[in-house]
Amino acid sequence: MGKETIRTDDAAPAAGAYSQATTEGDLVFTAGQIALTPEGEPLDAEPIEVQTERALENLEAVLEAAGTGLEHVLKTTVFLADIDDFEAMNEVYAGYFDSDPPARSAIQAGALPLGMAVEIEAVAIRP
């Protein structure tokens, strides 16, 4: 089938030399999603809960553009600027993956793009 590049205006635009997602066959690999609105407005001053919600909304939009959805996510990686935000992030995250959640890693990163508190990437399948 070959690599396919995914782009949608319903999620934050790529802020560099990368695609919002790429696919190969039924696999979908997303770029890390941060708290940028689809218009590119940064929500870096917002609390972790708001940033997590926006990142997950962006992730959902990218997955939908690739022909899949959150229910088909196999693995996520959550990068936190401060690991002490884990509980608050997890509370919001759990609302998006309420049954059969994907495998997940969560780590504290040294710093995230645009001073954000959270970045979330995923690997999913297309049904």
Residue 98: its pLDDT value, please? 85
Give the pLDDT of residue 15: 78
What own/partner pairs with CB < 8 Å and gap ≥ 24 does 93-100 have? 93/52, 93/56, 93/120, 96/56, 96/60, 96/70, 97/70, 97/73, 100/71
Mean pLDDT of all residues in the chain?
A: 96
Confidence of residue 14 (pLDDT cuts 50, 70, 90): confident
pLDDT tens for each residue of 26-74:
999 999 999 999 999 999 999 999 999 999 999 999 999 999 999 999 9
In this structure, what token pair is assigned to residue 35? Answer: 């708290």
* Assigned CATH topology for domain 3-125: 60s Ribosomal Protein L30; Chain: A; (3.30.1330)
